[in-house]
Amino acid sequence: MKRIIAFLDERLPLRELEIQLKKPLPKHTNWLFSLGSMALFLLLLQAVTGAFLAFYYSPSPDHAYDAVNYITQEVPFGAFVRGLHHWGASAMVVIVFLHLLRVVIYGSYKAPRELTWIVGVVLLLVVLGFGFTGYLLPWDGKAYWATVVGTKVAGMVPLIGETITKILRGGEEIGAVTLTRFYAIHTIWLPFLVFALVGLHLFFVRFYGSSGLPKNTPEEMQAGVPFYPHQVFEDAVAIFILFIVLAGLALFVPVPLEEIANPTDASYDPRPEWYFLFLFQLLTYFEGPLEVMGAFVIPTLVILLLVFLPFLDRRERLSLRKRPVALTITSLSVVLIVILTILGGRSPKLETEPSQATVDQAQESQETQETAPADTGVFDFNIEDGQ
Ligand code: HEM
């Protein structure tokens, strides 16, 4: 072992790595500083479980639903892996949001960490992008209709809205191209983006060092315990607890899979995933020409406000209790998001109408399937009887 270490030591900057790992933390930190590492763990968990799901999944309207059903019912540990991926996605949104709140509460977005914060805001959007594109993949009723609504909302963006909807859908309607496109975005484009951004985010985190609690004096900023092993141990404990919770959910709470998508069923009551319900609810307050407010103006203003927060709030770092304006805005925002989310889950059905093209397309596809030769076995997702 010693010889291996000596060999590696001669060839790699191990000493530099050790110096980095043992850098002291600020004197005052707490377990909320593990939320970033928990988000990182979830990202890796999503990558690994997603890679296993991709072994069986097939992004075509004829096979996607059967593939997901097959994973859940036939593949060894398939339901567990799908459960981890499903609950992991929700956990990711919760943990990233809490991480953001922690950063706001302790004013950690302030100079010199503005870039860390801005990359973080983009990461939040990418995480939501994963949720939006992943929701369509099982190709069941809720997946299909939520995407009809979601892509329609994207179409309300002034000037370029129609183009965005067409690019997302891969045409006028939601169909085979949409599913392939969402799958490509979900498994190739966003992962590239997220890992590049996380790399940058972590580089900035290391470069500026942990911000610690606002009460640290300049002398106390480097007077705490070393990052390794202390913080690493605390992060590992937090990650372990998180994993136990997720494994419990994956084992005991089945992931929903409704009937296969029926594009002609206009009676379907579309609902997005829970973390988009607040936006969905916001839309219901604006009608006609004002729709653009809920679909574009307000969300864009909120994103811009988040991006520029470090430049708008330039005062020195104090604990949130001593920043009454920030405390009020943060608390009101959280309460508003929670209320809108609850209301969004209960709001009355949105009007959905299949276009004539969709009805024709569905009929055509049904006729082709009826006259098509028996399954060639290339995509054989048959579920054994009696299991
Ligand atoms: C995929 C999502 C994300 C991952 C994996 C991630 C990861 C991390 C990690 C590991 C840390 C260091 C530990 C900690 O302070 O908790 C950190 C710090 C930080 N993150 Fe994130 N983060 C993510 C999203 C965000 C978001 C959405 C924001 C805010 C908009 C953000 C802003 C920051 C800031 C400002 C710091 C420095 C905090 C300090 O020095 O005290 N991050 N992040």
Is position 387 within any domain? no
- Dist. CA 166–CA 164, nearest whole Å: 5
Of residues 127, 119, 122, the one with CA closest to residue 96? 127
Residue with CA at minimum distance from ligand 1 atom 15: 33
User: Quick count: other Cβ atoms within 10 Å of Cβ 116?
Assistant: 22
Amino acid, single-letter form, for residue 128: L
Per-residue pLDDT band at 109 (split at 50, 70, 90): very high
Is position 299 within any domain? yes
96 within ligand 1 shell (Cβ under 6 A): yes
Tokens representing 105 are: 């509460």
Is position 213 within any domain? yes
Residue with CA at minimum distance from ligand 1 atom 33: 117
Residue with CA at minimum distance from ligand 1 atom 9: 36
Q: What's residue 177's pLDDT? A: 96
Radius of gyration of the chain (CA): 24
Direct distance between the N- and C-terminal alpha carbons of the chain, in angstroms, rounded to an integer: 50
Q: What's residue 354's pLDDT? A: 66
Percent of the chain with pLDDT over 70: 90
Of residues 185, 187, 195, 140, the one with CA closest to residue 164? 185
Q: Is 99 exposed, middle or buried (0-12, 13-18, 19+ CB in 10 A)?
A: buried
201 within ligand 1 shell (Cβ under 6 A): yes
Q: Which long-range contacts (CB under 8 A, 24 or more apart) does 298-305 make?
A: 303/121, 303/125
Q: What's residue 347's pLDDT? A: 82
- pLDDT single digits (tens) 120-176: 999 999 999 999 999 999 999 999 999 999 999 999 999 999 999 999 999 999 999
Q: What's residue 387's pLDDT? A: 43
Q: How many domains does the chain have?
A: 1
User: What CATH code is carried by the domain that includes residue 59?
Assistant: 1.20.810.10
Work out the mean pLDDT of the chain and round it to a whole number.
Answer: 92
Q: 101 or 365: whose pLDDT is higher?
A: 101
117 within ligand 1 shell (Cβ under 6 A): yes
Which ligand 1 atom is nearest residue 127's CA? 1
User: Quick count: other Cβ atoms within 10 Å of Cβ 358?
Assistant: 18
205 within ligand 1 shell (Cβ under 6 A): yes
Is position 18 within any domain? no
Q: What's residue 362's pLDDT? A: 62
Of residues 32, 85, 61, 8, the one with CA closest to residue 213? 32
210 within ligand 1 shell (Cβ under 6 A): yes
Determine the distance separating the centroid of ligand 1 and the alpha carbon of 197, expressed in angstroms. Answer: 11
Is position 24 within any domain? no
Per-residue pLDDT band at 321 (split at 50, 70, 90): confident
Q: Identify the domain containing residue 351 by its residue range.
A: 31-357
Per-residue pLDDT band at 95 (split at 50, 70, 90): very high
Residue with CA at minimum distance from ligand 1 atom 38: 108
What predicted TM-score, i.e. pTM, was given to this entire model?
0.92
Tokens representing 299 are: 């969300």
User: Which H, E and C letters describe the chain, residue by residue?
Assistant: CHHHHHHHHHHCCHHHHHHHHCCECCCCCCHHHHHHHHHHHHHHHHHHHHHHHHCCCCCCCCCHHHHHHHHHHCCCCHHHHHHHHHHHHHHHHHHHHHHHHHHHHCCCCCCCCHHHHHHHHHHHHHHHHHHHHHHHCCCEHHHHHHHHHHHHHHCCCCCCHHHHHHHHHCCCCCCHHHHHHHHHHHHHHHHHHHHHHHHHHHHHHHHHCCCCCCCCCHHHHHCCCEHHHHHHHHHHHHHHHHHHHHHHHHHHCCCCCCCECCCCCCCCCCCCCHHHHHHHHHHHCCCHHHHHHHHHHHHHHHHHHHHHHHHHCCCCCCCHHHCHHHHHHHHHHHHHHHHHHHHHHHCCCCCCCCCHHHHHHHHHHHHHHHHCCCCCCCCCCCCCCCC
216 within ligand 1 shell (Cβ under 6 A): no
Tokens representing 221 are: 């900023």
Determine the distance separating the centroid of ligand 1 and the alpha carbon of 323, expressed in angstroms. Answer: 22
98 within ligand 1 shell (Cβ under 6 A): no
What average pLDDT does range 48-69 have in this prediction? 97
Q: With left for phi above 0 and alpha for psi between -120 and 50, is residue 170 left, alpha or beta?
A: left
281 within ligand 1 shell (Cβ under 6 A): no
211 within ligand 1 shell (Cβ under 6 A): yes
Mutate to test the pocket of ligand 1, among 28, 45, 205 (most ligand atoms within 8 A of CB): 205
Percent of the chain with pLDDT over 90: 85
Mutate to test the pocket of ligand 1, among 103, 195, 221 (most ligand atoms within 8 A of CB): 103
Which ligand 1 atom is nearest residue 40's CA? 5
35 within ligand 1 shell (Cβ under 6 A): yes
Is position 196 within any domain? yes
- pLDDT single digits (tens) 286-316: 999 999 999 999 999 999 999 999 999 999 9
Is position 71 within any domain? yes
Mutate to test the pocket of ligand 1, among 97, 99, 203, 231 (most ligand atoms within 8 A of CB): 99
Is position 13 within any domain? no
157 within ligand 1 shell (Cβ under 6 A): no
- Dist. CA 123–CA 113, nearest whole Å: 15
Of residues 311, 322, 328, the one with CA closest to residue 106? 322
- Dist. CA 350–CA 135, nearest whole Å: 18
Tokens representing 339 are: 């209320």
39 within ligand 1 shell (Cβ under 6 A): yes
